[in-house]
Structure 1
Amino acid sequence: MKARLSGDPRIEIVNGNSYWVQAYYTPSGKRTRVTAKSARAAKQLAKERLATELRDKAIAHGYTTFEKFAAKYISNSSVGRDGDTALGSSTIDGYESYLRCWINPQLGPISLCDIDKARMREFRNYLIANCPSRSTAKHALNLAKAILGYAVLLDAVFSNPAQGVKIKLDWSEQEDMKTIRIPSDQEIADLDEMARSLYRSDDIRIARTYRRYYPLFLILRMTGGRISECLGLQWSDFGVGFSAVTVKRKVDRVRKNKSLKERVGKTKTRNARRTIPIPQSVRPALAEWRLACPATNEGWVFPTRTGQPLDYNNVKNKFWKPLLKRVNDQRRQQLKPPITDHGLHGLRHFFVSVLVRAGRIKEASVLAGHSSVAFTLDHYGHLIPGDQQTLDEVTKIVAQNLIV
């Protein structure tokens, strides 16, 4: 950023008269100054001059409103802002959704230079009152703050009016969500049994449908992979005898005007690129599917008839929801409560929870591709065994070398 104040106001005396001087740099980098009768007035005048020059510059570049500058932020993010790597198409889609639903209706028509801290506080209060959750409200506010921060960087505004404006999450709600999102052992057992029975069904039509969905279910269930990672698998990613699989890429959902090249990208983070062992019991189903899988140039493990990777919505609507409905119909007949739809991501949560409950926290973090063990503990630490045997062992360890 070139436009900025240069130090604090200082007093000067000329011909016996004293006045205050505030120097500043214009958007072009030129150093100039203003004078006033007090330090406060000099600083305020310099800020007003800067705001006027920045407004003129923003208008000259077409950034007449927040919405127009936000469009530039999205455009630059999709190719990489300031030398950074480009954001994935799914992230861009998420940003656009927040802008469309929550941010632009409130801030969009307003000039960048007219957005002050008071308006941002009003915007925060609007989000808290209208968003379905405080988490959604926080994400929307943070995106607006990031866009305004980028405006400061490009000298479109003098300072970020959202600085210091925050939304704190309800910790009790967060803790409850950690438990709610993980399927129980019995729920997973029912899903396992139903998926297996459909895969082995005597009905040729059903068996043909589950011929590819069941191997996908097993990969999701037994490796803890994200659905985007599993849809991005190629046969070359598997080790000898399907003993392990290396996650190297992900495939985003099908979007309008998005080519396959734009859908396929690197894993979410560097840690997400990992090798995961595959249980022996899963390997025969993968070997069978390898023989039946339609051939593609890229060697996609789960391709469509046109040779592209399956889409998330396809898997959800043609496999997951019908599977869940069959399981819940069966549970109702047995007078059991229906399974809550945890989504396909629930299989990943269950995979991590199994390892955490077994005390293999480091392994859970690595195999899930988490950014750190601290992240794993923060999200799954409540699952660490709390049975009496574990508590007795902890007590014994703590009491060692203690004489009372």
Structure 2
Amino acid sequence: MSISKRKWTTPKGIEKEAWVVRYTDARGTRRLKTFAKKKDADNFAATAKVEVREGSHVADSASVTVKAAGAFWIATGENEGLERSSIDQRKRHLKLHIDPFIGTTLLSHLAVPSVREFADKLRENGRSQIMVRKVLGSLGSLLADAQERGLATRNPVRDLRGGRRRGKERQADKRQKGKLKVGVDIPTREEIKAIVDASAGRWRPLLITSVFTGMRSSELRGLRWSDVDFERALISVHQRADDYGEIGRPKSEAGERTIPVPPAVINALREWKLACPRRLTGNDAAGNPVRELHYVFPTGSGNIESRSNITKRGFLPTQVSAGVTVASEKRDRDGEVIMVAKYGGMHALRHFYASWLINRPQDGGLGLPPKVIQERLGHSSIVMTMDVYGHLFPRGDDADEMAAAERSLLG
């Protein structure tokens, strides 16, 4: 590592000078970097010396921009067979959040302070705390991919997101999300009864199944008749359909599960099976089309139904018919407020199912233990179940139960 002063004269006769740092990197390649001021050269030399010794130095000429690294990151995801929805999310994060702020920054220039500044800029420009966390997660994944390619030796996002900070972020997320509330995020028993009573046509069996299984929308869309055991009243989850109609495994290993169902589901599905559209599988010897039952909740042609159709044509109109509505900001031609569906997505029915499993029998629920509820919901860990639904579990220390416990103890 050496520092020297260089002087030269331009073709126009102007004298100039610069400070040059010459060194050999960890790969044995000779490098040089110039600075206008000696103090900058000294600072770089001191830092580079330590980084070369630790094997964490990447010269600017060997580095790439964040935008270029992002292209490699996308290619890695495609080569690894990530779902299209995951690839699209990577592309959105790059286009909307990462490239506009740090796309032209060299990876070798990224450090914890610059990543913190990036996060601050995201917040200042209207990104929510949850979105900032997701984008930082994407940036960390991008940098990990760059490390594997030899384009970066450090991942400042991981240094930023140490245990203490992750705890703060989780607390911030919880404050922003708030606890799920019955009647706000979770339909009440009366609302569920009204929705079931108002459901009709091909949406009725789907909504009833969703209410009493808590299956994710993707799992309902990928459900096959072979996954329904009418005799034992069980539904098995072995696959799901993504937003592009492509079939894949459940979200996690725990997502593959078997769910006991009540008679209402079995009866609705038995009736629906007689009218369920069949999927075209080919032609017979005479050239006639051959169709067979496959998906439980398909389109009219027997293929995978879209998520938006289930919500917009099924769940939302059924809520309006059931009177499960809230006032919108719009008015009709007569000046009357237009009422719209209270719950915006099918996940509300999954939340209800969880609350139904949790509630005590005397409150109209099943009163199941947390571990069983985790398995029924297909959560990868009990922590996830308790983080989302822990506040719904009976405390067991209300006045009546405390009095009963006292009588049992003292007589």
TM-score range, shorter chain: 0.7 to 0.9
C-alpha deviation, 1:390, in angstroms: 6.8
User: Deviations along 1:199-250, whole A, 9 cap, x unmatched?
Assistant: 2xxxxxxxxxx2x211111111110100000100111111134711110001
CA contact (8 A) 2:236 2:257 kept: yes
| Cα shift at 1:121 | 1.4
For structure 2, which runs of at least 5 residues remain unmatched after alignment?
Answer: 1-22, 33-41, 282-292, 328-338, 361-366
CA deviation vs aligned residue, 1:105-125 (integer Å, no higher than 9, x gap): 212232322333332111111
Which residue in the other structure is 1:130 paired with?
125
Letter of the structure 2 residue corresponding to residue 116 of structure 1: A
Q: Which structure has the bigger radius of gyration?
A: 2
CA distance in 2, matches of 1:239, 1:382: 33
Matched, 1:192 2:201: no
Pair 376,294 (structure 1): closer, same or farther in 2 beyond 3 Å? same
- Give a deviation string over 1:339-370, Cα, whole Å, max 9, x none: 63241001011101111223312221111101
Q: Aligned to 2:84, which of 83, 89, 92? A: 89
Check the 8 A contact 2:320/2:341 in 1, yes or no: no
- 1:235-274 map, 5 Å: 235-241=225-231, 243-254=233-244, 260=245, 263-274=246-257
1:284 to 267, 282, 286: 267
The answer to whether the 8 Å contact 1:229/1:267 transfers is yes
* Number of residue-to-residue matches in the alignment: 339
Q: Is the 8 A contact 1:182 1:342 kept in 2?
A: no
Aligned equivalent of 2:334: none
* Cα shift at 1:300: 1.3
Q: Is contact 1:249-1:267 (8 Å) kept? A: yes
Structure with a larger share of its residues in helix: 1
Counterpart of 1:149? 144
1:353 is matched with 355
Is the strand fraction higher in 1 or 2?
2
Deviation larger for 243-252 or 378-387 = 378-387
How many angstroms apart in 2 are the aligned matches of 1:322 and 1:227? 17
Shift of 1:384: 1.2
Offset of 1:293 from its aligned partner? Answer: 1.2
> Which of 384, 387, 391 is the aligned partner of 1:382?
391
Paired letter, 1:153: E
Comparing 287-296 with 322-331, greater Cα deviation is found at: 322-331
Contact 1:304/1:310, CA 8 A, preserved across alignment:
yes
In 2: Cα distance, 1:65 partner to 1:23 partner: 22
Q: Is the contact between residue 250 and residue 265 of structure 1 (CA under 8 Å) also seen in structure 2?
A: yes
Distance 1:177 1:275 in 2: 28
Tell me the distance in 1 between the aligned counterparts of 2:90 and 2:400: 44
Q: What does the per-residue CA deviation read over 1:63-89, in whole Å, with 9 as the maximum and x for residues that have no partner?
A: x42122112212212332xxxxx4333
1:43 offset after TM fit, Å? 5.7
Does residue 66 of structure 1 match 2:66? Answer: yes
User: How far apart in 2 are the matches of 1:149 and 1:331?
Assistant: 46
Match of 1:109 in 2: 104
Partner SS state of residue 158, structure 2: coil
> What SS does structure 2 have at the residue aligned with 1:178?
coil
- Percent pairwise identity: 27
Give per-residue Cα distances to partners, 1:114-159, cap 9 Å, x unaligned: 3333321111112223345211111111111221122123210232
1:139 matched residue in structure 2: 134
C-alpha distance 395-123 of structure 1, shift in aligned 2 (>3 A): farther
CA 1:182–1:331 in structure 2 vs 1: closer, same or farther (change >3 Å)? closer
Moved more, 345-354 or 169-178: 169-178
Offset at 1:93?
Answer: 2.4
Structure 2 CA distance for partners of 1:114 and 1:136, relative to 1, 3 Å: same
| Other structure's SS at 1:392 match | helix
Work out whether 1:176 is the aligned partner of 2:175.
no
Residue 26 of structure 2 corresponds to which residue in structure 1? 25
Whether the aligned pair in 2 keeps the contact of 1:54 and 1:157 (CA below 8 Å) is no
Cα 1:25/1:324, change in 2 over 3 Å: same
Distance in 2, matches of 1:127 and 1:400, equals 58
What is the identity, as a one-letter code, of the residue corresponding to 2:198? M
Query: Partners of 2:371 and 2:145 in 1: how far apart?
Result: 37
Residue 47 of structure 1 and its aligned partner are, at CA, apart by 3.4
Shift of 1:165: 2.4
Q: Larger deviation: 145-154 or 265-274?
A: 145-154
Q: What is the distance in 1 between the residues matched to 2:31 and 2:61?
A: 19
Match of 1:316 in 2: 311
Q: Considering only aligned residues, what root-mean-square deviation do their CA atoms show, in Å?
A: 3.6
Q: CA deviation at 1:23?
A: 9.1
Q: Which residue number corresponds to residue 75 of structure 2?
A: 75
Distance 1:173 1:340, change over 3 A: farther
